[in-house]
Each structure stands twice: as C-alpha cells, then as structure tokens.
A and B are shown apart, each in its own frame.
Chain A
Amino acid sequence: MLKESVFCIRTQLDDQSVVLKSTKTGTVAKLLESQETSLKSWLRHQDELKPDFVDSLCGINGILVDVKADEFVYLQNELLDMRNNQARMFSLHFEPTMQCQLDCGYCVEKGIDRGSGMTDTMFQRSLKWFNDYCENHPEVEMLRLIFFGGEPLLRKDIVRKSVIAYSQLAEQRRLEYMTEIITNGELLTEEMARFLSLHNWRRIQITLDGPSEIHDARRHGKNGRPTFDRIWSNVLMLVHSDYIPTVDVRLSLDEENAEHILQLIEFMAEARVQDKIRLSIGFTESSLLTKIKEMREEWQVEQALRIWKCARDNGFQIPDEYTTGPLCIAQAKHSAVLQPDGNLQKCFCTSGLSCYEFGDISTDTLGYTKDSKYENFGRMDECVREECAYLPICGGGCTYHAAVENGGTVESFSNRHCKKVLLHDLNDGLLRLSYGSKDQ
C-alpha cells in the first residue's frame, strides 16, 4: 500500500497541471489535473486499476511511499548517520586577516576586533594541527580550503603560501583538494586568478548590491571610495578567461536596494555573461552585534521571485528550489573556521567574537572539531511534531540566526530558526518559474 510522502509539496501551474515535488529526494513530477485526480482516487482504492505513471513516483523518487513508512524518524536517523558516521570532507574556512578595505553597513563582522594578519608561526602551526587531525581521522578524504575574512586578498602572501602548503599536504595524505574563495573582488588580479586556477580552484563568490551607484553607496571603501567599476572589471576578467568555470555573484537584498537589483541583472545580461555567472540571493539580516530592520518573509518572497523572474527572462540560470539546510558548515563533523590568531570557530558568522571559539590550533581539538552549540539536533523535534514538509531542506534552519534572535547565549543556539513561510512561498514560486509557462 502506498501513500503520498509527507515531504511532497504541490504547486498549481496555470496550464491545468500541477507540479509535485519531494523535498527529500528532489524529484519533480508534472501531472495534468486529471492525472492528479486519478492518482488521488487510486490512493483511496488501491485494489482498482493503477494509473500507469504511479510506479515512476515510487522508489528513489519518493513522491509516493509505503503507507507504513515513518518518514520523519527515517529522515532524522539518516541526517545523524550522515553527519556522524559518513563525513569524509574537511571544510576549512581559512581567514588570513580579519581586516577589510570595505566599509559595508550591514557586514556581519561589523564591530569585531579585526586585529592583525596571521603570523608565519601561526600559519606553520596550523599545518601541523591539520596534519595531526588527519592522522587521527583517516576517514577524512577531502580538503576544501575556503578563504574568508575580512578580505582574504588583503593578504595575498598568506593566500599563496596556504594554497601551496595545504595542497601539498593534501597530496601527501592522499586527500582530494580544492580551493575556494569568498572575496569582495576588488583586489583580485589576473595573476592571482591564474595562480588559484593551478590549484583546483572550484569556487569564487563576489557580492554585488546593484548597479554602480547603488553598489558604491553600500559596498564602498573607507571614506566612501567607490568599488563597483574595479570589481566588475575583475568579474569580466574571470568571465572572459578560463581560470574558473563559473563566477558566483551574490546579490545582497534588503529594502534599500531591492528596487535596483533588476537593473544590475539587465546590466550583466547586456555584457553577455549569463553562461559563466551563477546568481544567488542573500537576504541581509541582523548579526550578533548589529541590529538591522527585519524584513517580512512575504516581502522577501515577493522580491526574490521578481529577481529570479528577471534573471530567467534575461537568460541566467535560476534555481528550482530554495533551501536553508539541513546540514550546514557549522554543523559538519569535520569543519572549522581558522582565525588569524589560531583560534577556531564552527561558523564564520561568529568570526572575531572570542566567546564563540571552541578551541585553538595549539591544543588538541579532542576527538573532532566539536562545538556542542551546533549539535542540538533536538531543535528539529518541533518541526517533526508539526509534520513540516520542508524539514529535508531546512533541518531546523540557521543555528546562528536562531542565536541572534534569542540573545546570543549558549542556550540560544539550541533554538530552531523557522522560515516556513519563506520556504513554502519561495519554493512554490521557483517551481512555477522553472516548470510553468514563461508568463508565470
């Protein structure tokens, strides 16, 4: 006997068809309304003739599941097993410096002590620490070295020696290795791009907040120095070369710039960069140190869908789903944010805030890179009680923002960060944009 999965969501299209999607497996199926009616009828009377498409919705596709399946128990067990027993990758967010030449008003790091760059002593110590960690964890098969900051390219010297040393260490330990960088893009040079491309460069993320005058009003240097032209020139350098397959352009979004993002998309489309730019939207939110005006989820959905429709109509790839989990970098078993002073955090959002450190590279990280603040998986229990269909793509939401909302205490990290309205409405809209008619 079969039933519809608890993780099946439904979207009505305007051509008398519906999309059924499993948030668990990612399956997307499009049925005529008449087919959906026959499916519902058959699910009530399964001794009758089975519609011919039913089998394709079962098994690994997971739209229909065994009627006895306890899907939430299975999902929770699977998440924990994946996290605890099947982690093979070490994600190291490496912060050469916490300094930044920009002065963005909404920066999550605004207000922290930015200190000085990583010393060579600390850098050498970090190599030993990582080597020892791998010695103790032979299950680690892959190293992602992700440069973060501050602005990592303020210290190109540290970036260079880190890439060389960590990639060599990975080779010695027979680990797969990849380089990534999160940068404001202003200091990127072709020489640096060429260097990174020689070391399995997989990803770069650069943020643009709108066309030049809007971007420069928000992501400016000290004393208001404009940055857009230089950053865009560097993006074009990447797009017109072969150093990296795609450039991730992050669009920060709030009430200040929402009206102008469409102009930026049209500007980028005119430059014919659609094939090499991958867009993403980041809603600006309050941090532990900076309170900003919160945006209603309904407003966020409306703006995001307007942007994705514009992006689609201008030839950019758009996502067909929006997720907020379930297992983020901070919750991963083998992961750390390595600060310039050698202290370790699990989430880059708390970089520079010493009260959230879980260890340092001079002392044993005891077993694995553990910070119990990020291991409160019971925060999903309420979602299970509510039988939330979005749990496979949420997992209780962002731990950091749960802490921001609840005062930043150790206990506050055990709260969930429910964004059900955003998940429902944005996924509904993205399915319509991706699988409906062009008028959707």
Chain B
Amino acid sequence: MRVLITRRTVPNKAPTDTQSKPEVRPSSVVLKGGKSGVRFGPVVTGQVALGKDGCGY
C-alpha cells in the first residue's frame, strides 16, 4: 500500500502534562524521580494513562 507522508500544520506532541517535572536528579539509588501533586487521570494530564490504566476503554 502506498502511504503519503505529510507534514502537519500543527505539530503533534505528547499530551500536555500539567504536573511539575521531576526536580530531583537521579542519584545512585533513584532510577526515576518523583512528581508532586496528583499524577494520574484526565483531570490532571489530559490522558487516561493508557497502558497503565484500569479503565476499560
């Protein structure tokens, strides 16, 4: 199948995460820094955390 590759006029990017970004640099034991506030849910991140979410859709 031939598929055209087009340019978007509005660049797509990952859903906006309105949370604060991790502020602590990984040390020798921290693999992934933490975030403040509520991390999940459409109220916060604009996504249903797919792949990590128990919601049935």
* Interfacial residues, chain A to chain B (CB-CB below 8 A): 19, 22, 24-31, 35, 53, 56-57, 59-62, 78-79, 82-83, 87-89, 91, 108, 142, 144, 148, 176, 178, 182, 190, 194, 197-203, 205, 233, 236-237, 240-245, 248, 250, 278-285, 318-329, 331-333, 335, 348-349, 392-393, 395, 397-398, 401, 419, 422, 435
Contact = CB atoms under 8 A, between A and B. Distances in A.
A395 B49 CA distance: 15
Contact of B51 (A280, A324, A401): A280
Contacts of A198: 8-10
Given A322-B53, A392-B39, 5 more contacts: A25-B39, A56-B24, A324-B54, A328-B41, A332-B43
Nearest to A237: B3
A348 B4 CA distance: 34
Contacts of B34: 22, 24-27, 60-62
A178 B15 contact: yes
Contact of B29 (A31, A332, A419): A31
11 contacts: A26-B32, A57-B29, A60-B24, A88-B18, A243-B6, A248-B50, A325-B54, A327-B38, A328-B41, A328-B55, A335-B42
B35 A60 contact: yes
B12 A200 contact: yes
Interface residues of B, number: 49
A199 B27 contact: no
Given A56-B24, A241-B5, A82 B10 contact: no
B50 to A, nearest CB: 5
A429 B28 CA distance: 23
Nearest to B20: A60
Contacts, number: 197
Contact of A327 (B5, B41, B56): B41
B3 A329 contact: no
B30 A324 contact: no
A144 B42 CA distance: 10
A212 B25 CA distance: 46
A53 B29 contact: yes
Given A28-B32, A202-B12, A323-B54, A87 B43 contact: yes
Interface of B: 1, 3-10, 12-16, 18, 20, 22-24, 27-44, 46-57
Contacts of A278: 50-51
B51 A319 contact: yes
A233 B33 CA distance: 39
A142 B15 CA distance: 12
Given A56-B30, A197-B6, A89 B14 contact: no
A323 B12 CA distance: 26
Nearest to A199: B10
The 8 closest A-B pairs by CB, nearest first: A25-B34, A324-B54, A327-B41, A27-B34, A56-B27, A280-B51, A28-B32, A319-B52
Contacts of B44: 82, 327
B12 A201 contact: yes
A382 to B, nearest CB: 18
B51 A144 contact: no
A243 B3 CA distance: 11
Contacts of B54: 283, 322-325, 397-398, 419, 422
Contacts of B13: 245
A320 B50 CA distance: 12
Given A237-B1, A241-B4, A245-B12, A324 B53 contact: yes
A309 B6 CA distance: 35
Given A56-B30, A332-B42, A240 B3 contact: yes
B50 A280 contact: yes
Contacts of B35: 25-26, 60
B51 A79 contact: no
A434 B53 CA distance: 17
Contacts of A144: 42, 46
Contact of A242 (B1, B5, B10, B27): B5
A73 B27 CA distance: 30
A246 to B, nearest CB: 9
